[in-house]
Structure 1
């Protein structure tokens, strides 16, 4: 329940952020924003780069403090690259448990740290991050000039909560420090023992994290032009509050939420194009460039691996294999969103208005519809790629090719076509990573992915309304076809995308409620009974009920009974037959479950065979 609440809160924050941007009174154009980005001097960019180096240097101290608290032997020079990789990947890509935590586990385990110690390091880094954010943001909320936002379309009672939230954050920091003094017994977290830090360690965490946030806030302030009545403390307060809301929204780098809050708060002092220009440069220098450096370092580190250490090399290859499907999933999701936005946003079409003289109108209209369909299908298939489904992989490749072709026919948008082509090229050598079978519609979708899909649709709708906010709605717009009827094409494309999502949702929920009874043919049942007749156990006769499926080993002298219950594949009792073949049979069942993204569960396994099920990540055993 708590996870669902967090998802809905995130979606609400993201939606409100888009509504705030939509209701801005100032008008701005993409060309003006690009002009502001190009207008930054070399000295300003150099200053921003130096502050970025300072911030990431402080971030390495997060890991250093955590490692020193549990292990005194690892030198700082070995901690720096691990911390840098972990933070740049999690900051830019998001999904910190998948990116930053995985990287820390891989490299720290190679340095000899146990899983329990690595867990303590990850938790310590997370606590350090939030400790400084809560402290700085708490002070900012207490001192936040809420009257700045009084003209915005927000309820007045919301402004009075800023002080309460700020005090709550400061009290949580104080509570953590008191816990460091009073709590001596270790905590048990999911089977891991976590020792509370000493007060001196907690104070160092608070100091380092607070300094880091101040440095990053100063970095952003340096990108804004000087203006009367807008001071350093004021900008930092807005910056900290925007970051806190971005973290609460659970999106990578707070993207979208951060931009909305900062733009809304500062639009009373600066033109919107100057604010967005500063945000873009901030994103590039603080997020994109460090991530590219980190990615290059990661690849070079693997390439320089000693060829004699084959085991370690195989481990790294396996790590890359685990990392590629999520990265491709994110890339495909971004490609789908890009196609949808190209359908509802007219700015690039106007740039290539001459294309209408070369391409017939029916082709342009059809291209817009096809791009809308392709974009929303790529959004839906991206989760199938994350789950490694082969059908999703094949369909995605075809849709990317379709997108590359029709994006050119619609508006000669070669930049988008090139980006989609790059994603397609990255997918080509990765076919063997997508091995799972089954229907794409039957995939169990996570709440996080559903949140991302909802946010993408909200963004598409927002761009549609924002782009044509000066156009009066009329029913005839749906049936208008002309080279200049961009709003009509946008309306039709957006409606088609929403219709496909609704149809997919109906198909998804109906398919998940249909229970398929396993079909057990007569020869298989006869073969099973012959094995049961020679077995000392009689529970194999339960196969006669024919409510379970049977899996035989290759030699047909051992089998196990299982039934599917939702995402779980439940084995009933011990395997039956040749005991020397049980280990191979259990591994065969494990591979079968993995091929369909199922969870192997062992029910009523006896003590004798309980250790054989230890290789399964999801299991339940009742003696």
Structure 2
């Protein structure tokens, strides 16, 4: 927060002069240079929101190693034999138990809908939504993106508000955990020894764990019965489950878990069995570990847990039953859910469009990028798995007669590497990148050819061809012009790629576990040498991964990061000089890029940090072109897959930002002095006259140096600037305020304070073209200058602006001032108001406003226009980083 609020003031450098009057607390500096953990520290760099995924990845790795060790001697023939011994009536009963489990899951949605006050949804719609969302979540994982999207799509048709839908998703997750944890804990009371093969703990400790979990649930029920609890996230509040909802969740969890466990238990082979209760405990724990892992379907973790906890069941029998369970409980319901959702969408859209073909198109086009990304990712996984497993021998016999060995070897290697690259390209497709589309079509076409040449794998070739055809059909949906490998993929996507590659490598080593490793294997080339081909392909994948990661880390897109050229800035000077806004001169700092209006009479200045494309203030343009520039900027950012932000916008154009889909967060208030009322005469000017006289008695004098005379005093000005930076222990900031640059400083008239003929303070002057606005930007002073020199500087500037006929003098912003601290205000407002009142150890918020108040200004609010939702913290971090780094970017460009 300190780093954010310290960067809010467009004229932080000039406002910090108030420190001569009301100094900030020791050890704190504007811009976040004190207080909270430094951004460069290891603690500040850790993104703790990803801890769950990291733990899940570690669980997946551990489970993979355990499975590999446990199944090392197992052959597919043994598993196939175990599957053949499972009777059809067992499979039918398992399907019945699966149906009962999914039916029980409806209870979670019913509880959540009732809790958020959405009773208008019919039971049939609840059942449909619950089944489809749960099937998607169980199979694909990432419930917020899969099951949550399904709930959002369907429930909004029944009049639920966004907050209610979010509440339903959160409550179903919360009640699921309450239910399954309570079931597992209750079972431990009766069979505390059931988990001994997993946790290796004595039954007494497992019994205590069960008692502790149930006691925690009971305590929550008592607390919630005494006083209902509410969770608050920004402007969104969600009532937490009370005793009735908690009890209902436990009952639903009991029925759901028992039915799901029965679906697997019923297809286990006859033999030694510890009983259904013991199996139920293990099943519940395996399910919890699978959900924690974030791996779709808990693959690997679920199986490893059951194999460890049921050592009395032959491994071949357990593996066969687990494979069949995956089909019965996951694959079949997922296929049915896909069909049901497709029919639902077709019916919904057919009524709106009128014809079936148009309905399909209207349904598919918005979903095309995401569907294409998932399909390409799956295609990459298929290629990786194919490269790790042996080819069909009868196909190799045919291939031997048709294709020379070098083509087979090369195609196998290329197909595996192509599969890995497709995993990365899929991320770009979801973000609608045009170059990702081109690369995907090329790679899929090549992969189809490689699949045929490496082993006559017609199935893979067909999959690749169909996905490529789908991409070609929806070419227009991929329009964003951004470099795929200059955009860092999300952490979740990186984890998914690691899991996919890790699983394929594990599978390759597993199927070749009976072959002893030898160095000569790397150099064996033959039609039936599958293991050497797998080893070489794995090395190629690792090299490709390292190369792509290095490129992503080092490469930068010029359009996104580099500031405009001096020639581009020079072309804007007529627009800046004709602008009524004084802050239009920020365009000449050299740290921004520009987007011209359609009529060429105005522009938006912006820079990029991370995924945030930050426009500085309102567009600099005539009134009739501002709306168009806001939309043009948003379209530009959308083409590059970024997040559009307008920083420090005024109240004059708030409807424009709201119409463009932005949310608003107040940043603070700006002080404007009415020069018609400003005077040093009479009682109103008494304090200012005293401050002016005090400074003049110490030998200080005020003067204006025209821009033509600035080169002659540039050395003195630089010495003052360097002394100010050294004394404050600060680094230059930019973007929303000026920084020292000789080219920038010599452009403007300079207000200076002299003592004994030497400059001790200065400020460069900005003027609006219509005589309405007068202000200063870069302001520096000597730490040992005369007392009251900053008061003299401001008084002289105000008098000068008034004498030149200007209407207003802009004193700059007081960060976080004027934010409401009412309990019903937004979270951002309440946090900002708290920091404003209690954050003096970090930044002199109240003192800064008090200093400006003595000039009796009119306070005008300024806002941040951003996309809304949970993006605000990351955007504020990006803005802070941009303000801190833009001088370095601009000066390096200038020096080059």
- Shared fold per TM-score greater than 0.5: yes
Q: Is the 8 A contact 1:600 1:619 kept in 2?
A: no
Shift in Å at residue 596 of structure 1? 0.8
**1:423-572 alignment to 2 at 5 Å?**
423-511=467-555, 516-520=561-565, 522=567, 524-525=568-569, 527-572=571-616
Q: Could you say which residue in structure 2 is the equivalent of 1:380?
A: 424
Q: Is the 8 A contact 1:600 1:618 kept in 2?
A: no
Q: Is the 8 A contact 2:400 2:527 kept in 1?
A: no
Name the CA distance, whole Å, in 1 between partners of 2:647 and 2:114: 43
Deviations 1:256-297 (A, max 9, x none): 22122223433x333333222222222222222222222222
1:604 to partner: Cα distance: 1.5
TM-score, with length taken from structure 2: 0.64
How many Å separate the matches in 2 of 1:199 and 1:302?
Answer: 37
Q: TM-score, normalised by structure 1?
A: 0.91
CA drift of 1:169 comes to 4.1
2:149 to 67, 90, 102: 102
User: 1:210-359 residue pairs with structure 2 within 5 A?
Assistant: 210-266=254-310, 268-305=311-348, 309=352, 320-346=364-390, 348-350=391-393, 352-355=395-398, 357-358=400-401, 359=403
Q: Which of 121, 130, 151 does residue 83 from structure 1 map onto?
A: 130
Q: Is this contact kept in 2: 1:355–1:411, CA < 8 A? A: no
Residue in 2 that maps onto 1:43: 89
Flag the structure with higher helix content. 1
Give 1:145's aligned residue: 194
| Residues 185 and 374 (structure 1), Cα distance of their counterparts in 2 relative to 1, 3 Å cut | closer
Does the 8 A contact of 2:138 with 2:296 survive in 1? yes
Aligned to 2:21: none
Structure 2 unaligned spans of 5+ = 1-46, 668-861, 863-896
CA distance in 2, matches of 1:29, 1:491: 21
Query: In the aligned structure 2, how far is the partner of 1:357 from the partner of 1:53?
Result: 49
CA spacing shift, 1:157–1:269, aligned 2, 3 Å? closer
- Structure 1 residue 247 displacement after superposition: 0.4
SS at match of 1:576: coil
Cα distance, 1:305 vs structure 2: 3.2
User: In structure 2, what is the equivalent of residue 153 of structure 1?
Assistant: none
Tell me, yes or no, if the aligned pair for 1:567 and 1:598 is still in contact at 8 Å.
yes
Q: Distance in 2 between matches of 1:498 and 1:82?
A: 41
The alpha-carbon distance between structure 1 residues 185 and 265, as it changes in their structure 2 partners (threshold 3 A), is: closer
RMSD between aligned residues: 2.9
Partner-residue secondary structure (3-state), 2:650 = coil
Corresponding residue for residue 28 of structure 1: 74
Question: CA 1:200–1:605 in 2, change beyond 3 Å: closer, same or farther?
Answer: same
Shift of the 157–53 alpha-carbon distance from structure 1 to 2, 3 Å rule, reads closer
Partner of 2:884: none
SS at match of 1:436: coil
Matched residues in 1 for 2:223 and 2:292: separation?
A: 24
- Report if the CA contact (8 A) 1:558-1:576 is conserved: yes
| Partner SS for 2:232 | strand
Per-residue CA deviations over 1:28-61 (Å, capped at 9, x if unaligned) read 3334434544554332222122212211111112
Specify whether residues 605 and 9 from structure 1 end up closer, same or farther in structure 2 by C-alpha distance, changes over 3 A only.
Answer: same
1:460 Cα deviation (Å)? Answer: 2.6
Q: Distance in 2 between matches of 1:146 and 1:306?
A: 51
Secondary structure in 2 aligned to 1:601?
Answer: strand
Q: Which residue of 1 aligns with 2:227?
A: 183
Q: CA deviation at 1:534?
A: 3.3
Query: 1:462-512 CA deviation, whole Å, 9 max, x = no partner?
Result: 223222222222222212222333221111111111111011111111225
1:599–1:618 contact (8 Å) kept in structure 2: no
Q: Among residues 585, 589, 605, which one is paired with 2:629 in the alignment?
A: 585
* Structure 1 unmatched ranges of 5 or more: 151-155
Q: Tell me if the contact between 1:89 and 1:100 (Cα under 8 Å) persists in the aligned partners.
A: yes
Judging changes above 3 Å, is the alpha-carbon distance between structure 1 residues 16 and 306 closer, same or farther for their aligned structure 2 residues? closer
Report the Cα offset of residue 321 of structure 1: 4.1
Shift, 1:160, TM fit: 9.8
Q: CA distance change for structure 1 residues 365 and 241 in 2, over 3 Å: closer, same or farther?
A: same
What are the within-5 Å matches in structure 2 for residues 51-130 of structure 1? Answer: 51-69=97-115, 70-130=117-177
Flag the 1:282–1:497 CA change in 2: closer, same or farther, 3 A. same
SS in structure 2 opposite 1:564? strand
Which of the pair has more CA radius of gyration?
A: 2
Instruction: Give distance in 1, aligned partners of 2:273 and 2:129.
Output: 42
Q: Following the alignment from structure 1 to structure 2, what is the Cα–Cα distance between the partners of residues 318 and 587?
A: 24
Query: How many residues end up aligned between the 2 structures?
Result: 615
Q: How has the CA–CA distance of structure 1 residues 36 and 455 changed in structure 2, closer, same or farther, with 3 Å as cutoff?
A: same
Q: Which has the higher strand share?
A: 2
